[in-house]
Structure 1
Amino acid sequence: MKARSLRPDRRDTQSGSPFEVAYGFSRAIRTGNRILVSGTGPIEADGSSTSGDAAAQARRCFAIIGAAIRELGGSPGDVVRTRMFITDAADSDAIGAVHGELFGDIRPAATMVVVAALLRPEWKVEIEAEAVIASA
């Protein structure tokens, strides 16, 4: 990832997802002390989807999210909100367990919503996050 500054009060970063350029969005944007991370699907560096179960896909989503937050000067400990979109309610415990591994001590506000489908049919989960960096 590489952060860039478009305005003095805004920086963004890209993760290399083919959708970022094609659809015209940033993986994450930092404005002031807030970092907003776009919906993040389980995409590998080569553009393929992460294989495996819902937990493996959630881990990949959170790895991409964590890298974006770090690129913009934050850390996973700064996460204050997550939104998880899942395609099968039966996967909620597996995805929730991964969330708990990463955020069990942080306990951000979190939402999990079952949706009819995600962008790629093989995706079981897509995740958004927001972080607030404490003032120095």
Structure 2
Amino acid sequence: GSQSRNCFKTIEAALKEGGFEMADIVRATYYVTDASYIDAHFAVCGEVLGDIRPAATLLVVSALAKPEMKVEIEVTAKRRSA
């Protein structure tokens, strides 16, 4: 859960820097290194994303760049028209 929250904090900061907001997320790809993390990860997704429902893919992978990394999140955002 905590790594998922940290990923979303980083994503939110990057989006804001680019003039976007979390509601602009239209696609998310989630990478976890153990299937046992999925329930906690999706609980965090529900807390953070709320009514934002991006198209999503979740992959269970054997490892990420560093052994301590257990979760990685990649998003695509599209600016909503006003």
Report TM bin, short chain: over 0.9
Give a deviation string over 1:99-125, Cα, whole Å, max 9, x none: 111113011111110000000001110
Tell me the C-alpha RMSD between the 2 structures: 0.8
Q: Which residues of structure 2 form unaligned runs of 5+?
A: none
Structure 2 residue matching 1:106: 3-state secondary structure:
coil
SS at match of 2:9: helix
State how many pairs are aligned.
82
Q: What percentage of residue pairs aligned between the two structures are identical?
A: 52
Task: Indicate the structure whose relative CO is greater, using CA pairs within 8 Å and at least 6 residues apart.
Answer: 2
The runs of 5 or more residues in structure 1 that have no matched partner are 1-54
Greater share of helix: 2
Q: Deviations over 1:51-103 (max 9, x none)?
A: xxxx0011001100000001000100111111110000000000111111111
* Counterpart Cα distance in 1 of 2:55 and 2:46: 12
Match of 1:72 in 2: 18
Structure 1 or 2: more strand by fraction: 1
Equivalence for 1:84: 30
Q: Which has the larger radius of gyration?
A: 1
- Structure 1 segments, 4+ long, off by >3 Å, are none
* TM-score, normalised via structure 2 length: 0.95
